[in-house]
Structure 1
Amino acid sequence: MKNLILTIFLISILSGKSQSAWDLQTCIKYALNHNIGLKQRALNNEVNKNTTEQSKGSALPSLNAGASHVYNFGQTIDRFTNTFANTQVLSQNFYISSNVVLWSGLSQYNNIKSNEYNYLSGVELLKQQQNDLSLSIANAYIGVIFSEEIVKISQNQYSVTVEQFERTSKLVTAGALAKSVEYDIKAQLANELVNVTSAKNNYQISLLTLKQLMNLDSVTNFNIERPQISLEDGQLLENNLQNIYETSLKTQPSIKSNEYSILSAESYLKATKGRISPTLSFNASMGTGTSGLAKDILGVQATGKSSLIGYTNSGEGVYAPEFDYITKPKSFSNQFNDNVNKSLGFTLNIPLYNGLQTHTSIKNAKINALNARFAKDLTEQNLFKSIAQAHANAKAALDKYNASKYSVEAAEESFKYAEQKFNAGVISALDFSTSKNRLFAAESNLLQAKYDYVFKLKVLDYYQGKPLEF
């Protein structure tokens, strides 16, 4: 039996030495860097950021250039020579154009502001998700510490029972005690061995829960540091409920996110209203081109022939000599320079009726702006309820912790006397086991109350924007 308890402690010691210790901040940092949900939220923020940049770019002048290379077959009018063509003709066109909106009822400006506020709202949402994850990590971290303490208590209880069993066995062998007493202690020993095994399993489950929250699966020998946690009775009373709530309104990212959402919705409403205004834009363009029909005239020569061009008053025919033009195809460079055309202009667009699209958009934008305000009010209400509940829970946990301390003191005294009486043969093994179990329950309740109180204090720190650390 001694070998069994020694083996249990050696396993615990060796496993503790082989594991790498992580403190709370290291666990939180790792979780923030490896959480998939946070990465997705960050990517969404990048999309919102790109949307903001694109809306800014839309307010800048546009600049476009293009070219075309066209073969025409059949009869057509060539745009560069203004002559008929009935054969294959190659024409080329080159252009560059620019357009800028000079006035649109500030619709573009307010759209930019709306996208900027939407991006900032997403940034605060990411911070809120990070804070929520950090709080969950802290809870799981404390859960690991608590479960390990339960393991130590159960092992100590088991060790005491082992010693009692050995003492009882000797007394039974000597004939001082009945064999049934040894059986009772042996049954108690078996139950406490089950408690040790259960406590160790709960400890491993607590570690697994923490690792899963951290998205950690590559470290097999994972363990955490055990901070020294001291509790002060007046620690809770540093800030009252109202002070904590007022502080949280300034520090909680969810509140800031809602404020940015309101600004975004209001800016979008202004941008939508701006669509009613006439839009004035300025545009400019420059183009040129070439045609296969364009030719340069080198000279003229008479053909010796003449053609009838009309009649005199007396009815005699009038003839004119015919000439042939000596030409050559016009060069690309000459055509490119000669065919340049430029244009400047202003365009005024006055919206009169577009199927009630603008009117409907304005009504929906008003609803969204009002809904954003309701969302902020609801968030503030839920925040106050959560803080009030956390504050009440912390007070209750402190009261339970103080009561549990007295319970442990009483249980320790009771067990000490029970052990003495049992060794003297005054009480039965059942009474001894009952006293021992009562002490174990009291110690477990004290630990649970202690770490529950610690976590409740961390929740209040969380709402005040304080770092989660011991």
Structure 2
Amino acid sequence: MNRKIVITVLFLMFCALASGQENPWSLTKCMEMALQNNIEIKIRQLEIKRIQKSQNSVLNRMLPVINLYGEQGYNFGSTIDPSTNGRVSSNIQNDNFYLNARTNLIDFSAFANAQKDKINIEQVKAEKEVVENEYKLQILESYYQVLYAQELLKIQKEQFKQASFNLDRITKEVTIGSKPQSDLYDMQLSFSEEENRNLETEQLYAIKKIQLFQLMNITDVATDEVVLEPYLNERTIDSDNELYSPKIKLAELNHQNSLKSIRLERASNYPVLSAYYGYSTFYYKNIKQANANTDSFFNQLEDNKSQQVGMQLSVPIFNGFRNSKKISASKIAGDQTKLAIEKEKQLLDKQVALEEQNKKNYLQLQHKLMEKEKYAKASLATTQAKFISGKVEAILYSSVKNQSLSAEYEVLKNDLQLQYIDLKINLLRKNRF
């Protein structure tokens, strides 16, 4: 019997522990899981692979192009006899075979295209980094929105415990007649307000967590068990002045690509030196002269073969100024991409300047909030002593207690906001946190 009781108690303790288990999530874990699950980032990764597979090196572009042709034809009526090269009135069957190979020995377009291919790969990588950076900023903001609600809920739960204690105490005092009924009404009203605020914060906290995990594309996690980890002791203060913005990098690559486009258009004005090789043979047969003395198929292929080797130099002279117009247009595009770099730098500087000003404001406010917290704790200590001795009412003590807890939360939230700004500035300037 005792054994059954022990097993039952252990089982109930295990269930209580299991039901009370929390699932902690850090900012780093959220970022990693979000990047793994984001569909747009996966699409960008496949685009990088596609561009890499379609890239052609200079050597690949200079490899010869080899073609093999074969045709069979019939000539009826007056035709040319291939054996005598004279016109005869007969029907002749022709089988012709050609093997051609051509390669460009000097082609400036091949070099320009190969360089553009390399920049194209870097461009799609930079585009992926831009998407990741913007996505990280969204995750960061959503994470701290949940964190604000989470810390507020902790404070309000402490307030609610105090309100419950005061309500219970006043109820007992009214019951024994030491307090008037009006005090109970006041305390019940205060308790109801605390209860409603607590419920609203719980609902907001649940919504914010669901929004965060939806943003991360995670659906197999019970969000009601998730607890976010604050970074209060890990505030990021990075004194490194190195700048690495994915948007600026992408703008710079676009400018480099536009410069290569100018070079590619200019390559159309340069000569191209090519080498070629040709091999051909044929077979013929007079269809009407079935008994004619015609050599066999393979003997004719051997006798009629011919080869051709040569080099060709193509020098552009005039094409209606089309290349000149394309070069001018490419130069204008280059100027546009150069201005786009300056635009991205200006936007980044403005955004960082605003965040720096917010950080300065929060730092100034932090000192005031800490002073307020100190005064609130001192007021709570004196009021608590008066409350214990019966010199102040419970509702006054409850109000002072709530003020102290609110002051504590304001300091905590301000510190969280400073963390958020530090992390956001690092993401904007260096794509890391």
Q: TM-score, length-normalised on structure 1? A: 0.78
**For the residues of structure 2 that align with 1:15 and 1:274, how far apart are their CA atoms?**
72
Cα distance, 1:192 vs. partner? 1.4
Q: How does 1:26-425 map to 2 (within 5 A)?
A: 26-53=29-56, 57-72=60-75, 75-77=78-80, 82=85, 89-104=92-107, 106-221=108-223, 223-224=226-227, 226-227=229-230, 229-230=232-233, 239=239, 244=241, 247-248=242-243, 251-293=244-286, 327-419=292-384, 421=386
Does the 8 A contact of 1:114 with 1:265 survive in 2? no
Cα distance change of structure 1 residues 211 and 292 upon mapping to structure 2, 3 Å threshold: farther
**Partners of 1:32 and 1:81 in 2: CA distance:** 77
Distance 2:186 2:35 in 1: 52
Cα deviation 1:123-155 (Å, max 9, x = unaligned): 123223323323432333333333222111111
Structure 2, unpaired ranges of 5+: 1-14
SS of the residue aligned with 2:135?
helix
Give aligned-pair identity as a percent: 24
Residue 326 and residue 160 in structure 1: after superposition, are their counterparts in 2 closer, same or farther (change >3 A)?
A: closer
Shift of 1:164: 0.4
> What code does the residue aligned with 2:138 have?
S
Amino acid in the other structure paired with 2:349: F
Cα distance per residue 1:402-433 (max 9 Å; x no partner):
32222223223334444555666655666455
Q: Deviations over 1:247-288 (max 9, x none)?
A: 11xx33333333333222212211211212233322222122
How far is 1:375 from its partner? 1.6
Q: SS in structure 2 opposite 1:291? A: strand
Gaps of 5+ in 1: 1-10, 296-323
Q: What letter corresponds to residue 200 of structure 2 in structure 1?
A: S
- What amino acid is aligned across from residue 92 of structure 1 in structure 2? D
Q: Deviations over 1:149-190 (max 9, x none)?
A: 211111111111000000000011111112121122112212
Whichever residue aligns with residue 190 of structure 2, its letter is: Q
Does the residue aligned with 2:232 lie in a helix, a strand or coil?
coil
Aligned-partner SS, 1:276:
coil
- Aligned-residue offset at 1:453: 0.7
What is the alpha-carbon distance in structure 2 between the residues aligned to residue 188 and residue 230 of structure 1? 35
Give the alignment partner of residue 458 of structure 1, picking from 399, 404, 423. Answer: 423
Q: What SS does the corresponding residue of 2:150 show, helix, strand or coil?
A: helix
When structure 1 is superposed on structure 2, of 184-193 and 73-82 the one drifting more is: 73-82
Matched AA of 1:143:
Q
Conserved 8 A contact 1:80-1:289? no
Quote the Cα distance in structure 2 between the aligned partners of 1:70 and 1:211: 71
Tell me how far 1:77 sits from its aligned partner.
Answer: 3.5
Residue type of the partner of 2:268?
A: R
Of 390, 407, 415, 1:442 maps to 407
